[in-house]
Structure 1
């Protein structure tokens, strides 16, 4: 007889009852256990409460990339730079072409610096011990185990059976998708693999893998409700269902999975063509269209957040550790409120001169900001930022004036007042961001090497004087995996490339690709995409890419976007730069920093990443590819 043993764990209000793990050993192996710790399969899977208790552990398999270590690295494109004090982070290694560093065996500090991998598949409540690679395989096995025991759920309603099956299918598809987007096609494990047989599961190509992901996510979307609060089973945990897997989550990842399969890199891996696959793109647009039609017809709990509350997508403060995200966030990891696991994360964005703690700093690159964050009138900055542009109104003597409103919510630039409260007289000069060349906020080791700071994820008061990261402030940072704005932009890309038209739309949603992008721009107070960027599919695609870079900056999307577009290894995307300038003599602090005149504004290259074709896919673990011949390594590694 097989048995199930209970796991004692910290229970969040999100969770129900008990978490269960299945063992394949006989009862005789557990004679030393107390009788109450042994539960038969017939009992464990009998009813909804017991089966849901088993299923809940899958939520603990979602790594929280935001808080995966004391300081955390998750932006690996040309968008962000880590100071030299953070040389143990994945970003630092990737900047030097070392893509092995995602693996625990190759990373510094025992591998704790990467959210992608840890030493074990740990499902406890410590975000520092959770890694995608081990937990995905663990989660896939657990999902398969649950699916193979669905027939035992006899004391349940049809609604309850659908909820269990839908969650299990979602997680099986989601974990596979999270892996293949980084390493390419993999074996699709859709059954419990026996432990006493030699593995012979061959790698599929990307399209084959994506089709299996799509089948699971489509079935999950059909089984799951939009909102658990509105169904009988969900009312048992009324008001605590926000993170439970639902129809909208399944549709969102169905669309994303199909868009990735359509993208040039994934299409090339499967067919040899470096163009978009129009069939996958059209199917992606249909999935996103189904989702967006439900949202815009008022049938869901999701909606874009007002722009004046944009920061609440990423953090809350003074709200008793309330989870950030509002109505816009669709999918995120669990977060253990009150444990201050983001105490170090909040300090990684401002230079050591105004925070204590770790010297590691993550800052926006000048190239990313200059190339993507344009002017408030919808025009980009000129390629040569040392020259004025009469059409856009850009002036290199006032480079921070008249910019896209999201520029001011995303970055700290020179002259912004950072410290709001009192500070010692001998530190008063550091009340404002001295980000000019040679300023006190600059520095390669524990300051900003680029001339910018990240403002998106922490309030300005996250400094040693205002002390917003103190426990009593309840500053709660959690960057989402996926939010509604991303869905609008992915829909636009899928519709555009699936139907080869700026005005294209899916069959089930009444907005065109152009209109979907404009929804996001108008939320931020920006004009719609200008006519000059609607002249062709390629021109408009570049504007979608720029819009993604602005709206979703530093949210972990850029690296995979550059990869799937096959731009990661091409200039200018291999460059990381700084802005250099001095303040004009008449410029004074304390007023509107956009009105401070600067001199000799220019851009300088800090490094060029030595990337080649092989860097489009992460290398698989040597320990895995040597298990059996059919599990082959990625090309070039």
Structure 2
């Protein structure tokens, strides 16, 4: 952390104005006051908001931070066994090399790539930007009383953003690294950088203080404020009271979770043991958000899951913003995904970064033709998608039939997953490409080339539609494609509320801030997609399992699974360390004429089974990433995470 703390000290003496410098390294070479005076960035709302805009710009785009990226590190995904894929963070995690996070350019959290003013998404990674942005927030909080001239409303909005960002950058680092020094003051040039490394729970207390302040100060809707009217209609990425409350709840829920309460350990004995009081605080924060949303007092709402053709993500007439458009938009003038459901997004750019490599890393190489690194859903994870009646596949009353394994599944299965027989190419497929017209994902099928197709028996299309291929061209320039995966969306708030309330009193648990019970919150999401409600047969631990399964399905492939398994103390447990493929033989559709005339979900198969691809050899040390070695050499009290 030598570089980190040096940057704190220098920034404390100088100015971190948004238009002043192009990188942290460049700035450190300058005299502290060589560009502008101390007062300039903080003298009024316009200048200070410009200063804060640079913090927004530092938020990495998790899925497009490099040409070839990986962000799903749990049991949810596996890559093709290609040299390019072997370098990704997801593959490095599979082999237990957690040190790879520190210099992996393909990973959004990596420690390199710090360029705060750059509009190039490849210049943004989380770790280096986090310390830089925390220093900026501290400096601005210190200076606002000294220099700022403006209204109370303006000052509240500015401080609300600063407190939120100080808490948020710490919180995101804590998820990977555990407790850290909580830097909530500007460090002077002569100050020793021996800040204590706090426990996770001590850090969470400090995060909570900052997020509470932010929730009290931030507006519900920027468009309804006097400062916000100057940028009316262009405030959708800005922080609000809802953003702060939602992250306050998340901070409390993570602190309440088994890992933070019982420490890293194998065996899974404490997976259902949460801290009740912290869970209650989490439920109250989420409950306040949900109550405001349910009463129509915010601009946030759940996107519609209403399709004329769910396989092609074709939304019904009159749907303003579809479920698919939470992650990918096309033919909408480069509109950033997320809509009214997104609670936190960073800035992004559209065509170049969406088209090149990202949008075509979800399907077979021959018709996608990008770097040979494919995001493949594992069969073990796809098994989380239960039945349309709401029951899990292994429930004796579910109706799941191994002869018709794709029939009557949760509607999100058909939206998210490409399975055998789905029409993959809508246009004219000639020559060798004709074999991909209908997804040949049965054992030995045309799409089962391990290196260039699917090694799991599935492809995914939740985040990008299958029509983003070289024949259908849904990601070509004239379609105006844009892709983004939000850091948080409203559905996640309902899920976290359900989990926190389940800790308090199972399915009927609730917060005094909200009328919904835990099971009500889950059923809101199931009603959205047309899936059956959670069965009343589930209670206690079995109900918590259903809450967790719902989270796995609703948030699939959005980058949350690793942290969920981590905080539930399940990361090391056998069920969650295996990655499998789906093997079966076609009975229906051997000549593919069946799929031209029938719904592929109706197909009959034989010998339906899972086969292991790999098992991750994890132990208790893998619950946390290792700290940078250089950071731990600064002073003895800044200790490396256990086992590293």
Q: TM-score, normalised by structure 2?
A: 0.90
Contact 2:366 2:433 in 1 (8 A): no
Contact 1:421 1:465 in 2 (8 A): yes
Q: 2:558 aligns with which of 555, 559, 570?
A: 555
Contact 2:113 2:122 in 1 (8 A): no
Q: Distance in 2 between matches of 1:397 and 1:521?
A: 26
Q: Which residue of 2 aligns with 1:627?
A: 634
Q: Which residue of 1 aligns with 2:353?
A: 340
SS at match of 1:603: strand
Q: How does 1:204-283 map to 2 (within 5 A)?
A: 204-269=198-263, 275-283=273-281
Q: Which residue of 2 aligns with 1:386?
A: none
Q: Which residue of 2 aligns with 1:583?
A: 586
Contact 1:6 1:20 in 2 (8 A): no
Q: Which residue of 2 aligns with 1:447?
A: 453
Q: Relative to 1, partners in 2 of residues 1:608 and 1:424: Cα closer, same or farther, differing over 3 Å?
A: same
Q: Which string of whole-angstrom CA distances, capped at 9 and with x for unpartnered residues, describes residues 151-205 of structure 1? A: 1344200001101111000000000000111111111000112334332111111
Greater mean deviation of Cα atoms: 426-435 or 270-279: 270-279
Q: 1:59 aligns with which of 53, 56, 60?
A: 56
Q: Which residue of 2 aligns with 1:114?
A: 107
SS at match of 1:492: helix
Q: Which residue of 2 aligns with 1:429?
A: 435
SS at match of 1:577: strand
Q: Does 1:103 align with 2:102?
A: yes
Q: Which residue of 1 aligns with 2:549?
A: 546
Q: How does 1:518-557 map to 2 (within 5 A)?
A: 518-533=523-538, 536-557=539-560
Q: Which residue of 2 aligns with 1:510?
A: 515
Q: Relative to 1, partners in 2 of residues 1:341 and 1:483: Cα closer, same or farther, differing over 3 Å?
A: same
Q: Distance in 1 between matches of 2:95 and 2:74?
A: 12
Q: TM-score, normalised by structure 1?
A: 0.91
Q: Relative to 1, partners in 2 of residues 1:322 and 1:539: Cα closer, same or farther, differing over 3 Å?
A: same
Q: Which string of whole-angstrom CA distances, capped at 9 and with x for unpartnered residues, describes residues 419-444 of structure 1? A: 11123244322211111112221132
Q: Distance in 2 between matches of 1:212 and 1:508?
A: 23
Q: 1:468 aligns with which of 456, 470, 474?
A: 474
Q: Distance in 2 between matches of 1:52 and 1:170?
A: 14
Contact 2:77 2:375 in 1 (8 A): yes
Q: Distance in 1 between matches of 2:111 and 2:199?
A: 26
| CA deviation after TM superposition for structure 1 residue 521, in Å | 1.1
Q: Which residue of 2 aligns with 1:15?
A: none
Q: Distance in 1 between matches of 2:347 and 2:110?
A: 18
Q: Which residue of 1 aligns with 2:421?
A: 415
SS at match of 2:335: coil
SS at match of 1:40: coil
Q: How many residues align?
A: 607
Q: Distance in 2 between matches of 1:295 and 1:29?
A: 46
Q: Distance in 1 between matches of 2:29 and 2:358?
A: 42
Q: 1:303 aligns with which of 298, 301, 304?
A: 301
Q: Which string of whole-angstrom CA distances, capped at 9 and with x for unpartnered residues, describes residues 292-335 of structure 1? A: 11111111000111112210111100111101111111111211
Q: 2:388 aligns with which of 376, 386, 400?
A: 376
Q: Which string of whole-angstrom CA distances, capped at 9 and with x for unpartnered residues, describes residues 390-414 of structure 1? A: x322221111011010100010000
Q: Relative to 1, partners in 2 of residues 1:352 and 1:630: Cα closer, same or farther, differing over 3 Å?
A: same
Q: Which string of whole-angstrom CA distances, capped at 9 and with x for unpartnered residues, describes residues 9-30 of structure 1? A: 99xxxxxxx9999979996973
Contact 2:160 2:215 in 1 (8 A): yes
Q: Which residue of 2 aligns with 1:167?
A: 161
| CA deviation after TM superposition for structure 1 residue 513, in Å | 0.8
Q: Relative to 1, partners in 2 of residues 1:282 and 1:7: Cα closer, same or farther, differing over 3 Å?
A: closer
| CA deviation after TM superposition for structure 1 residue 246, in Å | 0.9
> Mind listing any 5+ residue stretches in structure 1 that lack a counterpart?
11-17, 31-37, 105-110, 384-388
| CA deviation after TM superposition for structure 1 residue 112, in Å | 1.1
Greater mean deviation of Cα atoms: 577-586 or 536-545: 577-586
Contact 1:77 1:559 in 2 (8 A): yes
Q: Which string of whole-angstrom CA distances, capped at 9 and with x for unpartnered residues, describes residues 110-133 of structure 1? A: x21111114242221111221111
Q: Relative to 1, partners in 2 of residues 1:434 and 1:270: Cα closer, same or farther, differing over 3 Å?
A: closer
Tell me the C-alpha RMSD between the 2 structures: 2.3
